[in-house]
Structure 1
Amino acid sequence: MHLLIITREWPGYVLGGISHHICNLYNEVVDKGHEITVITGTCPQSSHELTGKKPPANEVHTVQFGYRKGYYVLFPIALRNYLQSFDFDPFDACITHTGVPFELPLPTVSKRHDCYEATKEYIRNGLSFLETIGDRLMGPFRTIVDRRSIAAADCLIYNSAVCRAGWESAYNITTPSIVSHNGIDTSVFYPDSGYNKEDYILFVGGSERKGLSHVISFARQTKEDVIIVGPDEVNSPHVDALGRLSSDELRQVYTNAAVTIHPAGWEAFGNVILESVACGTPVVATKNCGAVEVLPSSACVVTSEIERGVMKAKNLNSEDCIKAASKQTWDKPAQDMIDIVRSITNPEC
């Protein structure tokens, strides 16, 4: 099959974590013998991360959409103008990773990585007063894009049951859907050779949605050493902030940690959880993290009580963690996508 991929970001034009997902997913799809052509957004805030890992594509078309904030409106507007002269004939189907609020002349699968309605309360906690007002004013436009993009798709793919529940609680959705969990690249995340477990607790993230205030509160009350990866500085004397790390550095920090904590208020998936487990380190996470759906109790403690969860997680076995992660390769989400495309292009098969 020849698939048309539409996304606000692509390796080489990176805005956030979706590019990591796309990089792994479409390398697997191409390895299964399929072709891809890409239409990606780009704006001044795009970076050139992952340029060495981008999947092989027949072509990559870029659409300038002006600014990162408001992409959910700006990108579809720019995209619609671009598509007026685009030739859809070579393609079997389209996969969108950004809401496209109009019908395309192809069978269309829309992949949902997050749910704004489920996360907006956490997002607004990190905004200034003026930014919060702007976000509230743009809310109705975002709702229009969400509703129309759902209606325009032939099938939806959610990356967890948590993600699907978030969307279905916000909208009356009748579009067929499946849940296909993210994978983990075990060639990047694995136990560092010669590693030595140290007695520190790890948190990877810097936002309230991921549970930063809960981590800082835990650090104030515990005697454990707490390390945070992401922010360069945290306003607390009880934690050590390492800033952003490379994949190699992050793998070592995961490997050496006693436990990784992820007390997210809401997280559609939470790649951090699989990354840690793949490095042999158990995780404490809330039930509102999609990744806990694929992990056994021998690798992950699901609770909102961090201190109790850490005590329990310290008794879990690293080998069980590694084994659990090894079952979550990118092969399954790639095959899920191919199967869904085949079902909507050849419904009688």
Structure 2
Amino acid sequence: MKIAFVSYECPPEAGGGIGTYVAQAARMMAARGHRVEIFAGSADRTGRDEWPDGVVVHRVAAADRRTFPAKIARVIAERNQVVSFDVIEGPDYMAEAGETRKLIPDVPFVVKLHTSLLMVKQIEAEVIGPVRRLQARWQAFRRGQPPEWSPRHPVAVKEMHEVRTADRIASPSRSIGERVVAEWEADAGRVDFFPYPFEPAAEYLAIPPGGESQVVTFVGRLEMRKGVINLARAIPRVLRACPKAKFWFVGGMLGSPTPGVSMQEYLQRMLRKQAASVEFLGRRPPESLPEILAQSAVTVFPSLWESFGYVCLEAMAAGRAVIGSRNCGLAELLDGGRLGRVVDPRSPADLAAKIVELLHDARLRAELGAAARERVLSAYAPDTVGPQQEASYERAVAVRQPIPMPLEAQREAQR
């Protein structure tokens, strides 16, 4: 099968969960004998690379991610004349394959659910409070558009259209798949549920399960959706019960509920009295993460919403005790709490109680870490996920549902 992945994110130039998935999935499918090409973005470079495993990566310079769909569509259309792709996969986020589908509507299309920009903005609107929401509504009105958290916003309309008209909808968790069916009226019969593939590096597997320190680590972008504000609210409670605990925040940062204030600065203001127990390590290269996890006793992922969670799998592979949010994809990774602890991410008290429980019980941490690692190596291995992904592509080809060709393209074809 000849497979084209469309994604602005693709390592090493653009990180993030979507990019991590695309790299893992592309290598998995190439190893299974398929021809795989990735069509990605770059801040400043246009060109072509070939990875050692045979995956070809085409990049277009698109410093503004909003320009990527139109730019990459022309590249894919030209390449399709040479390759004749059997299937194209693109993300729900910003409908990045939407322009490609207009140019080559006859190629079967699978949309991969991650977390749409609409969902991200809806969560941020919840966090920023009524005053900021009112200000954002006014600013959007002056631009002549609905606010970004509205389903009527132009990007949201494209995202929902992408999902509703895809030949198959590939969902990495029940949480995100059932949500788009309920909220976006997607066809439940076209949803395929199977996880992202994950093959952990040997450095993760060399770490003994458990951990003897009192370090609690968060890994991910410091942004509102990741639940870091409620984690900060939980820290004073934890320190009253575990005075020797240390908290590490690992990752880059986005904005906070206060305009002009970065999330790191916002959290530091919240935690002035606890500053001696909190350290912000910033964005670190992926190869440094095993060492950071090896020094951690507990890892915390209190996202207000997460469709899946590669950093959670990395912590599980490292044999760490993991705390994740309930009612989203993280709870599924943790098997509802059998492989870690699940919490209400909006409850600092619940979060603090789970952290304290694990800091006080080294044996429990080791047991949970060992069970979590075993699950990672079985449920998310390429040999497990690969056949499921192939089956989804095959169903897309079999139940082809082409979108109407644009009028301009129809006229061009008739000339």
Q: Could you tell me the TM-score, scaled by structure 1's length? A: 0.83
Which whole-Å deviations, capped at 9, do the CAs of 1:23-68 have from their partners, x for residues lacking one? 1111111111111123323344x899xx9978522x4333444502
Distance 1:226 1:109, change over 3 A: same
The answer on 1:303 being equivalent to 2:340 is no
- Equivalents in 2 of 1:210, 1:194: separation in Å? 25
* Pick aligned residue for 2:237 from 221, 232, 237: 221
* Pick aligned residue for 2:288 from 227, 236, 249: 249
Give SS of 1:91's match: coil
* Pick aligned residue for 1:91 from 85, 90, 102: 85
Distance 1:181 1:83, change over 3 A: closer
Give SS of 1:209's match: helix
- Equivalents in 2 of 1:195, 1:309: separation in Å? 15
Which residue identity lines up with residue 69 of structure 2 in the other structure? P
Cα deviation for residue 340 of structure 1 reads 1.3
Greater Rg by CA: 2
Distance 1:212 1:136, change over 3 A: farther
Distance 1:85 1:222, change over 3 A: closer
Cα deviation for residue 137 of structure 1 reads 4.8
Query: Is residue 203–residue 215 contact of structure 1 (8 Å, CA) maintained in 2?
Result: no
Cα deviation for residue 185 of structure 1 reads 2.5
Please identify which structure carries the higher helix content: 2
* Root-mean-square deviation over aligned CA pairs: 3.3
Query: Is residue 93–residue 341 contact of structure 1 (8 Å, CA) maintained in 2?
Result: yes
Write out aligned runs for 1:3-152 (5 A).
3-44=3-44, 56-57=54-55, 59-68=56-65, 71=66, 74-82=67-75, 85-88=78-81, 90-97=84-91, 99=95, 100-101=97-98, 102-103=101-102, 104-123=105-124, 133=139, 137=147, 140-152=153-165
Query: Is residue 172–residue 193 contact of structure 2 (8 Å, CA) maintained in 1?
Result: yes
Which whole-Å deviations, capped at 9, do the CAs of 1:149-181 have from their partners, x for residues lacking one? 124310010121121233234311126011222
Query: Is residue 230–residue 242 contact of structure 1 (8 Å, CA) maintained in 2?
Result: yes
1:170 equivalent in structure 2:
183
- Give the aligned length: 339
* Pick aligned residue for 1:262 from 285, 297, 301: 301
Cα deviation for residue 308 of structure 1 reads 2.0
- Equivalents in 1 of 2:7, 2:107: separation in Å? 16
- Equivalents in 2 of 1:199, 1:80: separation in Å? 50
Query: Is residue 11–residue 19 contact of structure 2 (8 Å, CA) maintained in 1?
Result: yes
Q: Could you tell me the TM-score, scaled by structure 2's length? A: 0.71
Cα deviation for residue 242 of structure 1 reads 1.4
Which residue identity lines up with residue 113 of structure 1 in the other structure? H
Distance 1:120 1:56, change over 3 A: same
Taking only the aligned residue pairs, the percentage that are identical comes to 17
- Unaligned stretches of 5+ residues in structure 1: none
Cα deviation for residue 187 of structure 1 reads 1.8
Distance 1:203 1:91, change over 3 A: same
2:370 equivalent in structure 1:
319
